[in-house]
Structure 1
């Protein structure tokens, strides 16, 4: 790959020259590179998984960009050489992260982050037998990262299950055993 600087001939040329080299522009720079062809190797399991994940992310991006409000949101986050579609694919590709679960009396405090936005956090409280005692949605705190759920109580030997969901619907599930 070569970056072209001040060459009058290549300023207006784009495309492939005789199955040898490809000339294209990215972020205002002209790039000359060897023409790549399709791989002759059989894709690995990880490659197939990545392709499927990308196919799902691209489908989400196409669908979500039909909503003008979400399109404007993603466009506002786009940087140089990016657009709303790129940002929507990036968002769909990664799940939110549940960083911390704390207990304050009967309140569950969940710290959840996503590169874009965590849409909802659901809390389920189960007893020792696995029966759901209560469930509900947590409320976003003022800091934009902590989510609060006021429960009725925590059964001994039970567990608290936290489900964080982002805009594309990616879920991250974490559970804490109660002592």
Structure 2
């Protein structure tokens, strides 16, 4: 491993320029106690992906979490869920997410649609600040993290917060077994 750096964490609400606008709005809507626990650190956009972030910084793989957008249709209605799992896992899209959405087929959002619908940058989509009505499925392993490192809505920064705070977001629900070990 090469030299690693330590991200400089600061209260996220003190650094709104490092947040996508829907993420900043979601943080302002949290209780003051929860908002105070959310930190942000500027990172090189080239290290925003989990594997590169872990290699380039002192952020541990075990504390990283990823958020993927999944959708399916039922009776002509699009149903959307954000699946949040550890960075070392993959979301059980064809099992748990499909059942949660109550659809026959669940698929990842195409890149352009994910960016447009979330108002966040691809590769930085986070469970904070997603559109109302979207389900936010949080794997139990993520919810149990004392510090979960997630996207900030922009690739130039990361958020760190207790995993339990994710369960207090609008639309959030605990989804035990959502994360499956990657092959």
Q: TM-score range by the shorter chain?
A: under 0.3
> Hey, which of these two has a bigger chunk of helix by percent?
2
Q: Which structure has the larger Rg?
A: 1
TM-score by length of 2: 0.25
Higher relative strand content: 1
> Higher relative CO (CA 8 A, sep ≥ 6), structure 1 or 2?
2
Tell me the TM-score normalised to structure 1 length: 0.25
